[in-house]
Structure 1
Amino acid sequence: MSDTARLDDMTAIPVAPRASRSLADRLWLVAGLIVAGLTLLPIGALVVLAAQPTGDVWSHLIGTVLPRSLQTTFLLLLGVGLITLVVGTGTAWLVTMCRFPGRALFDWALLLPLAVPTYIIAYTYVEILTFTGPVQSLVREIFGFRTSREYWFPEIRSLGGAIFVMGFVLYPYVYLTTRASLLLQSASTLDVSRTLGAGPMRLFFRVALPLARPAIVVGISLALMECLNDIGAVTFFGVHTLSFSVYDTWVHRSSLAGAAQIACAMLALVFALLWMERRARKGQRFHTTSANYKTLPSYRLSGPRAWLATAACALPILIGFVFPAALLADYASRRLDDLFDPRLLSAMQNTLVLSVSAALLTVVIGVVLTYAHRVQASRTTQLFGRIASIGYAIPGTVLAVGILIPLANFDNFIDGIARSTFGFSTGLLLIGSGTALVYAYMVRFLAVSYGQIEGGFGKVTPHLDMAARTLGRSSGRILFQVHLPILRPVLLTALLLAFVDCMKELPATILLRPFNFETLATTVYNAASREAFGEGALPALLIVLVGLVPSILLARTSARSFRDKGSTRL
């Protein structure tokens, strides 16, 4: 390897020789180190807190709470994983490989459930399917029943109800990754399989499904991590998962150390999911050897098969988006005057301030991490990016426990100095001001911005950096004068995605919010906890409407990227 350039294994970006790196270049490395440290801080604090004695609380937890929570969590993940696997891969295959009525609509509409947080879907289905809800009321009216003892109806407040609802909310993760994998598969391979007599079903199970397995595993892992993070939906359904146990032990049993120990068990489960995901994908890389693009072979369905395919794609959209959104719109339309309620306006303002602040912070840090690796491409800077990305896999309840202790200690330290030096109390500067929430959002959703920004930087030729260097520009000036103007659309997309994710986050918000501080998410949660569905319909609908924006953007971006592949297959 020459003295004038060094190629990074992942990005192949030429960098300056080690001896000629300026102080500004080294500062990017320091910035990456600081960000990685901030990401790891909650995990380290969590481990330290879990090592503290809990008296007889832990013996109670290990004897009663933890085994039941582990079993319930395992069954929930298993059920949700099966539903997302079947629905996600099935719809992806139909939309990609078959032609039937409504296919063009389903191509993007199958992503709509991503716009609705799981706790809002749970919130609506508890109202839809309870005894006083519209479904059971219609059953009683049709058959003349008077009481619930006269007929059987499945109980929505149960583990089965949680599996059903959460599965039909989270399947788009599998649909999205599987569809992308199917679109990138070799058309020649599928053509050869068809010439050898493989029918649609055999082609799906023997050829397409094995080739798409890495993508399917990634989608299921994302869905299961979202399921593990949830606290609102499982609370509404009365299902005691590990996430609920962390909240219950912290808030109701007043044992932060006990909550930390359960959180460590959750963290171990998350890392186990990540390990299984990488293990399942180990060696599962498939490449298209032909450089010529060929349209994938497709099957034109007709008669009953066509309408069955239409129904199979329409049902997940109806369950995961249309029915809940219609109910929310109906209830919200009756309470439009609440738009001017000071409490709702305050919640909207708090949500906007927190989400915008955290989204801006994640974008800035994402730029810092990505550019640090571009300036000094090495295993160290690559490791910083990977560390910063693990926050998305950490449930909000686990993050909240890990963040509280170091920030509370810092607040107490500043307060002690102010009392001894100036004679007044500063109070809880970080926790009481909402800074802890912004920090939690940043750690949790940094991977969202980082992934977008990393992809954008990868499309900017390194020759621009080299040309700017020859003109005497420093790394900082290159970033602001060259890269940021080019990456403006990417940065706006990253900002939007991070904003919506922050706005929908519930577990960390519940546990870290200041006293008497409400957001739209906590307003919905509080209304559902009081069985006051009407009060929570309007803020829930506002969250859904804002969440539609990135879902539609994601659908359009996905469709455009595959439509514009041109003559090559990446």
Structure 2
Amino acid sequence: MYFVKPKRHSFKNRPWLVASAAIAGFVASPVVVLAFLAARGSDGLWTHLAANVLPVALHDTLILLLGVGVLVSIIGTCTAWLVTTCEFPGRRVLSWALLLPLSVPTYIIAYAYLDILHPIGPVQTALRTALGIDSPRDFRLPDVRSMAGCILLLGFVLYPYVYLTTRAMFQTQAAGLIEAARVLGTRKAALFFRVGLPLAHPAIAVGVSLALMEALNDIGASEFLGVRTLSVSIYTTWVTRSDLPGAAQIALVMLLVVVLLVLAERWARRHRRYAASTKRSHPLKRVPLRGGAAAGAFVVCIVPILVGFVAPAAYLVVESVKRVRFSGVSPAIVQEVVNTVTVSLAATVAVIALGLVVAYAARLGRGEFLSTASVRLASLGYAIPGTVLAIGILPLITGVDAIIDDVFQTFLDVPSRLWILGSGTGLVIAYTARFLAISVGGIEAGFTRVPASLDDASRTLGKSAGSTLSRVHLPLIRPAVAAAALLVFVDIMKELPVTLLLRPLNFETLATHLYGEAARGTYEEAAIAALMIVAAGIIPVAILGRADRNT
């Protein structure tokens, strides 16, 4: 008797796979457009950029990435090791408080410290008072507007990426080996350098790559601190010089840097594979610290929190209170909150809806090339810096805008206008391409907790894929969808490069308002907007901290 192996997936599932592929094509299309746009530049433009723009921009970008990479590696790895393997006063609070700098966007920490460390700011004024010096000319700290200042500030706000991945490694795969090394009498220092650090290399590589992606995407902090990175060069070439082909050519170079970062992360994790035991791992037993060792561990963990979160947050609170007492809350801030929430909500709905399609198509098409490739391409946007994505997506939006405008003028005699770009819909489209990866990843994680037997049972009962999704999966993955939506909403609120480049005229969000005030040097005017952004960013960090309480 012969048995025919049933096909894994029904032909009825094909619409989901095709829709997923179309969404992936939408996310990848800005890269293709970017290449065509760069090719439109004159031959002499490449020569000019290579001689006058790229050397400085590449030099500053690479130095910044190198410095930030080293700093986040040291801070993230050391703090993760201490809170995972040692017991000391305050460890439990510090283990989640070390995540707080994630709530502070890079441009806000630069904005805050430019005022805090200003020659007539609170820090230098207090130091001169303590030293009995009257004039700022007689005593000044090194200017924070420098490459060193930019590296320090970005490092202290981006280290949690390394901290999160490395701590997870120490708590899981490394736990048994660390315990075995202790039994064999390995000393504390050797335990870290000979056991913990080599095991953490893959986690460190992942965390550093994420931190460097954020540093590469930054516009505000680098520009405020006088560092001419590729992102800043793209923005000034496009906005200040009105040279879109030139900006596209710089963006291609920046995209190459992104590819090199991804390849470097993969190379750093080569030959690093660890087999996890099928038995449930026991928690790592922490070594109690006493006296100076405990104090030293506490200081090492508290300093990044103070620099990366407490100082800028306290400054924003103080300045916001001063501003409210002096002139109340500006009506412009209220409108900016409405603008920010409106576009963030609209984009979040779009991101979650499309992410659900891609993730569900991947579940239906397990093992198929089309579904796997769609997930990869749909996640591409998060790796593309905002400035690069904005340049690539602009011609697509303006092209559709022109078609819509022609139709409206021809058949409805409506005055010409930018229907997509001018209404803020272009922002929503760009946000969707940029943050779709968060939605896909979060929803996919939710689907992994749903047994495949439920799909089989639903199919046996004659239910379609769509009916199975709405009646079986959605109720079960609702927490994962909600968590993904929250992360997407907060990330969109904080996004600066895409908003700066694609916002409609006279359309301000909290992020662009802060950028404009800081660029003009009127820091006190933007404190309320910055505080609102930080407050929103604390929400996902609090959720991570709550999940960490049992460690």
- Please give the TM-score of this superposition, normalised by the length of structure 2: 0.96
> What is the one-letter code of the residue matched to 1:463?
S
Aligned to 2:381: 391
Distance change >3 Å, CA 423–CA 292, structure 1 → 2: closer
Aligned to 1:60: 48
8 Å Cα contact 1:339/1:345 also seen in 2: no
2:341 pairs with 1:352 = yes
Give how far 1:17 is off. Answer: 3.5
8 Å Cα contact 2:171/2:283 also seen in 1: no
How far, CA to CA, are the matches of 1:290 and 1:522 in structure 2? 50
Question: What's the % identity of the aligned pairs?
Answer: 48
Distance change >3 Å, CA 3–CA 206, structure 1 → 2: farther
8 Å Cα contact 2:172/2:281 also seen in 1: no
Structure 1 range deviating more: 411-420 or 363-372: 411-420
Deviations 1:144-181 (A, max 9, x none): 22334423411101111100000000000000000001
8 Å Cα contact 2:348/2:488 also seen in 1: yes
Aligned to 1:251: 239
The counterpart of 1:221, out of the listed 204, 209, 212, is 209
Q: Say how many residue pairs are matched.
A: 548
> What is the one-letter code of the residue matched to 2:381?
G
Give how far 1:416 is off. Answer: 2.5
Distance change >3 Å, CA 486–CA 3, structure 1 → 2: farther
Distance change >3 Å, CA 292–CA 432, structure 1 → 2: closer
| Structure 1 gap segments, 5+ residues each | 6-15, 564-570
8 Å Cα contact 1:161/1:237 also seen in 2: yes
Distance change >3 Å, CA 454–CA 150, structure 1 → 2: same
How far, CA to CA, are the matches of 1:265 and 1:81 in structure 2? 20
2:87 pairs with 1:96 = no
Aligned to 1:433: 423
Deviations 1:374-408 (A, max 9, x none): 11221210110111111111111001101111111
2:546 pairs with 1:556 = yes
2:121 pairs with 1:127 = no
How far, CA to CA, are the matches of 2:113 and 2:491 in structure 1? 22
Superposed, 1:130-279 pairs within 5 Å as 130-279=118-267
Distance change >3 Å, CA 141–CA 313, structure 1 → 2: same
Structure 1 range deviating more: 288-297 or 162-171: 288-297
Aligned to 2:99: 111
Deviations 1:74-117 (A, max 9, x none): 00001101110000000000000001110000110000000110
8 Å Cα contact 2:158/2:211 also seen in 1: yes
8 Å Cα contact 1:246/1:260 also seen in 2: yes
Deviations 1:5-37 (A, max 9, x none): 6xxxxxxxxxx535xx243x1110111011011
8 Å Cα contact 2:124/2:140 also seen in 1: no
8 Å Cα contact 1:128/1:134 also seen in 2: yes
Deviant stretches of 4+, over 4 Å: 2-5, 337-340
2:535 pairs with 1:545 = yes
- Please give the TM-score of this superposition, normalised by the length of structure 1: 0.93
2:274 pairs with 1:282 = no
Give how far 1:55 is off. Answer: 6.3
How far, CA to CA, are the matches of 2:280 and 2:448 in structure 1? 23
How far, CA to CA, are the matches of 1:416 and 1:366 in structure 2? 32
Give how far 1:252 is off. Answer: 1.1
How far, CA to CA, are the matches of 2:402 and 2:91 in structure 1? 59
Aligned to 1:77: 65
Give how far 1:286 is off. Answer: 0.8
The counterpart of 1:379, out of the listed 369, 385, 391, is 369
Deviations 1:320-379 (A, max 9, x none): 000000000000012236664221111101100111111111111111011111112212
The counterpart of 1:400, out of the listed 356, 366, 390, is 390
Structure 1 range deviating more: 187-196 or 429-438: 187-196
> What is the one-letter code of the residue matched to 2:336?
A
Aligned to 1:516: 506
Give how far 1:559 is off. Answer: 4.7
| Structure 2 gap segments, 5+ residues each | none
Structure 1 range deviating more: 175-184 or 280-289: 280-289
Distance change >3 Å, CA 55–CA 339, structure 1 → 2: farther
Aligned to 1:567: none
Deviations 1:212-255 (A, max 9, x none): 11111000000000000000101110111000000000011110
Deviations 1:441-467 (A, max 9, x none): 111111111111100000100100111
Give how far 1:509 is off. Answer: 0.3
8 Å Cα contact 2:217/2:386 also seen in 1: yes
